[in-house]
Every structure is written in C-alpha cells, then in structure tokens.
Amino acid sequence: MYSERMRTPDRLIEATQELLWERGYVGTSPKAIQQQAGAGQGSMYHHFTGKPDLARAAILRTTAQLRATAEQLLDGPGTARERLSAYLLREREVLRGCPVGRLTMDPDVVARDDLRAPVDETLTWLRGRLAGIVQEGVDQGEFAPGIVPEEIAAAMVATVQGGYVLARASGSPAAFDAAVAGLLALLTSRHPAVRGVSDACDAV
C-alpha cells in the first residue's frame, strides 16, 4: 500500500488518517493502525507516545492537506466567482464524506481539545479565506452589493458539509452537486434575497 521509501512515521500517520476517515477515533485501534501501516508496535511507540499523539498528527496532516487544496484553487487565476466555483466544484470523494467535516461528528474527537482545535482552526481559516474572496467579488461588482461576506462564506462551508450528508444519505453524489449548484445560483443572483443565502442553507 505504501512506498518502500516512505518513512515509518509517515506510514503510521497516513494509515491513521485513512482509519479516522473510515472508522472514527474509537474504531481506529493501535493494532489496526500498525496492520495498515505495516509497522510493528515497537515502531509505533518509538515515534509516538500513543494513539492520541498519533491521532493528533494525523488530524494536523489532514487539515493541512485541506488547506493546501483549497488554497491552490482559491489562489488560482480568474474572477472571484470563478475561483469560488473552482473550490465548490472540485472533485471530491463525496460518498466518503469530508475527512475534516466527519471529525466534527466524532464525539471522541470533539471531546478532546487537542484533537478538536486543529479542526476548528481550519474551518475558521476556510470561512475567512472564502469571505475575503466574496468581498473581492463585491468590490468588483460580480456579486450583489450589500451582501455580508462572512455570512456567505459560512453558508458555503455549511452547504459543502451538508452536501456530503445529503449525498451519503441518498447514496448518490447528485445531492451534493445540486446543493452546490443552488448555492452558486443564489450567490450570483442580483435579487436582494441573496442576503438570505445562509438562512436558506440552515433551513435545509
């Protein structure tokens, strides 16, 4: 599964990332991590003090990857709308859910400040980054004047995360695609109702 050149700590972290995504914190046992990483117990505890330490390293890497992916698209060429669309429409493993968003539904993750904090910080960063681009769009006349960028950014994040839930519930990515398409339509609308995008998303 892993390259022979990959260092043992990296294999352990990557294995933990996958298992947290698939099974959650409780379902990610040290034995499962070791088996997936092809590493022994001694190697695991040589590099990490225990499961919480390894889980934190995995969560930090997962959140860093989310930031890097988002930044690549949001820093890309094009207008504000084109960059936001690129982020919203990027290819995702929709039916697996968001590897970061799913952590917020794990009671064992949110109960620990050391595991929850990187997730909260990343989602806060994402809302801020999106809000900045929405503001650019308002300044350039792409979006209706008077909208509140922070509210629109929060609605974007909520729509993406809610889209994962709808897709998983229906067993089809179509529900995710419809949620994103609806948000983009509202965002570019010149009707004053665009100010209620976040309210509309909350009501779904």
User: Are residue 2 and residue 30 in the same domain, yes or no?
Assistant: yes
Query: Is residue 58 situated within a structural domain?
Result: no
Has residue 25 been placed in a domain? yes
Q: What total number of domains does the chain contain? A: 2
The answer to whether residue 110 sits within a structural domain is yes
How confident is the model at residue 64, as a pLDDT? 98
* Residue of 14, 6, 5 whose CA lies nearest to 34: 14
Dihedral angle over CA of 33, 37, 42, 47, nearest 10: -90
State the 10-residue block means of pLDDT for the chain, 204 residues long: 74 96 94 93 92 97 97 95 95 94 94 96 98 96 91 96 96 96 83 43 38
Look up the pTM and report it: 0.86
Range of the domain at 76: 63-203
Q: Is 101 found in the same domain as 21?
A: no
**End-to-end C-alpha distance for the chain, whole angstroms:** 40
190 with 101, same domain? yes
85, 23: one domain: no
Structural contact between residues 63 and 118, judged by C-beta atoms closer than 8 angstroms: yes
Is residue 53 one of the residues assigned to a domain? no
| One domain for residues 79 and 140 | yes
Give residue 136's pLDDT. 96
Amino acid code (one letter) for 119: V
